[in-house]
Amino acid sequence: MSLTKLLNLMADGAFHSGRELGEALGVSRSAVWKQIQRIEMLGIEVYSVKGRGYRIPAGLDLLDLERFSDQLSSPASDRLEEVVFEGEVASTNVLALQALNRGCRSGLFAAEYQAKGRGRRGRDWVSPYAANLCFSLAWRFSAGVAALEGLSLAVGVALRRGLARVGVNGVQLKWPNDLLSDGRKLAGILIEISGDAAGECQVVIGVGVNVSMPAAQADKVTQPFVDVASLTDNHPGRNALLAVLVEELLETLDSFERDGFGALREEWQEANAHRDSRIRLISGQDEVDGICRGVDESGALLLESGGQIRSYYGGEVSLRAME
């Protein structure tokens, strides 16, 4: 029995009896019950009432290819060779990389749930089924790896623009690849690059956006976070939000490939979460304290320490605010 089909039936938030669900899916009530247990393991709350059946109290805002396509502008749609929505996957970045390896030039890969979703430095990305947005954009650049300096910052600018379009304003950008609201994490970016130093590069842009995190899952998140639902009274739903973010990403990627990060630098600076604040950079066992002076034309962080301003690049570097 397909878990996706069961969730589509229950997405309306109404009660459905075990018999009704079993008949619709062609399985026994016992099989339905086992899948209900599986649903709960994915972080979805299910009410079970004797004589009435099962209900997902808040309903589900499931990703839907047709609804997404209706929201996506024609220019953006024409730029994507592949658009794939899945239920449960290991990682959307893996799907995007596989597509690039088989010759795809551009594609969008989204999933309701990532079993092995990752953030930077190998951290897990906690996201219950159908609650947030987990997606990856597969893209090819022709100018070589060196020309991709500042790409994660450019992606942050694009996502910030998209969030503003749906009423989420004042989003801050934390170097090199987080989006914050009042210091709480709203979204994260994970970019993976392979290819020639001077020739064509394959890029996977992985994005996670907190859209509507269930309260029951909050204790699994190890840092302060916030979601779109709590920042706007009328967010458009996951399909429409995804369409807006993809449109902004595609437009920004064109700008980035043409003009580099320098053209986006001032916009990033204005949203810098740690502008002129004391911070600590951590790289392995090394730590350095200083004052954040923004970023340079290549996206490197400018840190003033000991009367000098030094440049620091991304990779396995962690930034923390200091009291």
DSSP of 172-216 = EEETTTEEEETTEEEEEEEEEEEE-SSS-EEEEEEEEE-S---GG
Annotated binding residue 284: no
Annotated binding residue 91: yes
Annotated binding residue 172: no
172-174, strands of its sheet edge to edge: 82-89, 106-114, 133-141, 201-209, 184-195, 178-181, 172-174
d(CA 54, CA 255): 49
Annotated binding residue 118: yes
The 3-state DSSP class for residue 83 equals strand
d(CA 61, CA 59): 7
d(CA 124, CA 109): 19
Instruction: Give catalytic residue positions.
Output: 120, 185, 320
Q: How many CB atoms lie within 10 A of CB 308?
A: 8
d(CA 172, CA 156): 9
Q: Give yes or no for a contact between 191 and 177, defined as CB atoms under 8 angstroms apart.
A: yes
Nearest in space to 40 (alpha carbons), one of 128, 118, 146: 128
Q: Give yes or no for a contact between 250 and 267, defined as CB atoms under 8 angstroms apart.
A: no
Annotated binding residue 114: yes
Q: What letter represents residue 279's amino acid?
A: I
Annotated binding residue 120: yes
Contacts of 211 (CB under 8 A, 6+ apart): 131, 132, 133, 227, 228, 229, 235, 238, 241
d(CA 168, CA 184): 14
Nearest in space to 227 (alpha carbons), one of 243, 241, 209: 209
Unique residue bearing structure tokens 């897990």: 124
Annotated binding residue 92: yes
Show binding-site residues for biotin: 91-93, 114, 118-120, 185
